[in-house]
Amino acid sequence: MSDTPAAVPAAAETEVGSYFVANYPPFSVWTPEAVREAAHPALAAPPAAVPLGLYLHIPFCRKRCHFCYFRVYTDKNAAEIQSYLDVLGREWELYAEQPAIAGRPLDFIYFGGGTPSFLSVRQLGGLVERLSAVTPWSTAREITFECEPGTLTEPKLAAIRELGVTRLSLGIEHFDDHILELNGRAHRSPEIFRAYNFARSIDFPQINIDLIAGMLGETDEKWRMAVERTVDLDPDSVTIYQMELPFNTTISSDRMHGTGQFQETVAPWSTKRRWVDEAFAALERAGYTVGSAYTAVKDPGRTKFVYRDRLWQGADLAGLGVASFGHVNGVHMQNLDSWGAYADAIKAGRIPLNRAYRPTDEERLIRELVLQLKLGSIRPAYFRDKYGVDPRERFDAPLASLDRDGYLAEASPEAVRLSRDGLLRVDSLLPRFFLPAHTDIRYT
């Protein structure tokens, strides 16, 4: 997202940055009417022949980061949290009664937030026990768990590992305590190293580290230090995001209303791209492989991200929790986005959907193409086999524009591949592939 309210940028306006393209068509065209017309029929239909994943939104945090734009809560007591977890378990039971979901094995599971590691060992154990009683987790190829380092103790990390988590994702964001404080992060650097070292000692199959380029207070020197410390830790994968400031963050609100709380300047997108480029180069020198616009992995043969890859190839996803997104039988759907309405719907025996959208075949093609381009390349054969379309012919105009602007490195029968410059700004380039009706509108 840009540093102003999210809107689809014009094709040439790459220097102002972009919003993070998470789906297609844009969320702003999803409607409440489509819940009845599309989502309910999709859930009542036989299952599609695609993998099924489960997303769990745990919307609790110790504090709200100043750049956060997610649905999270920092003021809930233990009883309220347990009530939410009970509702979450009931929501999965309701899903499991739907013909599109009933009896299907889980291929991947993702605990997202918020801060899943905010939960206590007892709360985590009770939630997993209830969910896995409905659908066994033994078939899951990957179970990802997001963590904030300061919420992790050795008993909690051990419990997370015992729950079967295969991919631990540490939201480090930075190692500099002043930057962490300035941006509202709850943890500090000593907690990072303590949590990471213990997690490594109990043999999680994959440990991922998240960084953010362009946080308030960032400098060239501090960014280099953050990258060096990341390399020293030697994680299995590193995810780097470029700082986004949509309108509903504390920083954006402060700047729009002129209250003056945040005096630090925000790095321009060109600087954020340069910092990510420098980080990727340092990671490559250390033996990593850049696997997408955001990730570098130590061993691509062993280290995968099943959740991402399955979703970007059209897998089904049951999204549980307030405001969560899902995709079932070709229909996009999102839950109600307020705690009360969400919980009341489930207590009344209803799956708590707020809006939905059924993409056309052409929109499904575009969705998979733009999401897979975020990997840096696509295979034309994949789209020929699945959709009967050669993307080099169907999208000749946007591909020609990428080539003209220096963002395309290859367009052969084997691969369409972005240049490194194109990869670093890929989200700002993807609207070139959108249908005309989906350009120049709000993304969310």
How many domains would you assign to the chain? Answer: 2
Same domain, yes or no: 159 and 245 = yes
| Residue 187, pLDDT score | 86
Vertex 272: Cα angle to 61 and 216 (nearest 5): 45
| Residue 1, pLDDT score | 30
What's the CATH code of the domain at 431? 1.10.10.920
Helices (H), 97-149: 121-134
**Is residue 153 assigned to a domain?**
yes
Domain boundary among 284, 310, 336: 310
How far apart are alpha carbons 264 and 83 in whole angstroms? 40
How far apart are alpha carbons 2 and 133 in whole angstroms? 42
3-state secondary structure of 169: strand
- pLDDT, tens digit, 9 for 90 and up, residues 160-197: 999 999 999 999 999 999 999 998 888 899 999 999 99
| Residue 18, pLDDT score | 67
Same domain, yes or no: 173 and 279 = yes
How far apart are alpha carbons 183 and 177 in whole angstroms? 10
Same domain, yes or no: 295 and 392 = no
Same domain, yes or no: 275 and 149 = yes
How far apart are alpha carbons 303 and 232 in whole angstroms? 18
**Is residue 143 assigned to a domain?**
yes
Domain boundary among 274, 295, 310: 310
**Is residue 5 assigned to a domain?**
no
What's the CATH code of the domain at 199? 3.80.30.20
Same domain, yes or no: 249 and 127 = yes
**Is residue 20 assigned to a domain?**
no
| Residue 251, pLDDT score | 61
Strands 142-147 and 108-113: parallel
**Is residue 291 assigned to a domain?**
yes
| Residue 192, pLDDT score | 96
Same domain, yes or no: 272 and 369 = no
- Cα distances (angstroms) measured from residue 429 to each of 4, 18, 95: 18, 8, 36
| Residue 256, pLDDT score | 65
Domain that holds residue 366: 361-444
- pLDDT, tens digit, 9 for 90 and up, residues 34-65: 999 999 999 999 999 999 999 999 999 988 77
b/e map of 316-336 (b: 16 or more CB within 10 Å)?
bbbbbbbbbbbbbbbbbbbbb
**Is residue 93 assigned to a domain?**
yes
**Is residue 324 assigned to a domain?**
no
Beta-bridge partners for 169: 146, 208
Domain boundary among 268, 288, 310: 310
How far apart are alpha carbons 323 and 17 in whole angstroms? 26
Residues 6+ apart with CB under 8 A from 437: none
Same domain, yes or no: 118 and 215 = yes
Same domain, yes or no: 186 and 283 = yes
| Residue 292, pLDDT score | 97
Same domain, yes or no: 142 and 256 = yes
3-state secondary structure of 168: strand
| Residue 246, pLDDT score | 57
Residue holding tokens 């209250």?
259
**Is residue 13 assigned to a domain?**
no
Segments of the chain scoring below 50 in pLDDT: 1-16
Same domain, yes or no: 166 and 292 = yes
Q: In the chain, what is the straight-line distance between the N-terminal and C-terminal CA atoms, in Å?
A: 10
Same domain, yes or no: 252 and 370 = no
Tokens representing residue 104 in the block: 């299907």
Query: Cis link prior to 330 (omega < 30° from 0)?
Result: no
Same domain, yes or no: 282 and 379 = no
